Structure 1
């Protein structure tokens, strides 16, 4: 990003090069554009050496940082974070370092937020978006316990839940109070329907439900919110529907 008081933007630098290439003296062009001859010659030299890429601002980061935390210490900080899930206030005393320094190291390695990590492995979760439909297909299967009519043990006592299980089983097929399971498939489709762009099985545990039908009704509302309104970091803050070029019924 150019300095806020800079005379030249990238467009201005291109204009400078065009005028110089037209055969005009660099000193005259510099005077017209309100910059010094030294600055004008600098951009001309960069353009001749690097082409159009040389007209963009370079990083102001120093080539060397003598006082940066050594690499082996940074690795040790990252290991403690991944393996023991410790924060800066606890890692600091272990390594005899200020907590603020530990926090900067964790931020540099994108480990400063535990929610960004896969808890079992300690690896940073990388969100991504594929270039074209069907390039990569994910299939996840989640096993969900069916809910007896009237509710299960999450919203009432075990005795009441057992009674509901028996009543639901008797009403359906009879026998012992076994409700069974449902399986939810999460997948990406080659030509996604807007209402099926993504299913989140963990939605089933957001709140307790009194029956399978109630949970199924809540899922439909969640799918709409997830696909049309929820911001996704992998999509630059946009909902999944923004990546569908021709949703169903768009041109009907």
Structure 2
């Protein structure tokens, strides 16, 4: 560990976007401090993927996993409530519904909570930045993935933290926010991001389902980037 190195907390889910953020942060010269949240998500396989990604980047010893039972307790999302099915985006009318509504896979308050905890960790580390893989183009319509949301949270950090009051605020880095999924994958391939260690499937099975919104976006991105997705699917 280099005491003078600039540090970044990476919100690492084990998915494609957050893992690309790891690669970008490393490329920008940051010392990586990955932070993963176990919030009772249906797709718990991503926790194992996050550990593998941290190991790939040589930062297993710094990888922290935070348990948040509350999000499963309140439910309200297909990702945290087993009584709500993850939509099959190949079903008739599913795409039309997704285009007009915030999907049932939205987890209430998730990114707000994640960024709050990441801010606490970053302040203790004296880290300069938090990286989060939000995306406002090829995304599922989540309100907490928009640039407006990130800007508001970043502003709050200036007032809510000691480091912010002292004039050294923590920046929230969203390098993927205006990229298509294909753009993200192309940059990840350039940086050697280990996509074979990632998962994007909301159903959380050993082989990705290929029909949930997240799988469909991922497959579309790889196709448009001219690459083959290295993970296994039940159906493509």
Structure with higher Rg: it is 1
TM-score of the alignment, normalized to the shorter chain, above 0.5: no
Q: TM-score range by the shorter chain?
A: under 0.3
When normalised by structure 1's length, the TM-score is: 0.21
Comparing both structures, which one devotes a greater share of its residues to helix?
1
When normalised by structure 2's length, the TM-score is: 0.22
Comparing both structures, which one devotes a greater share of its residues to strand?
2
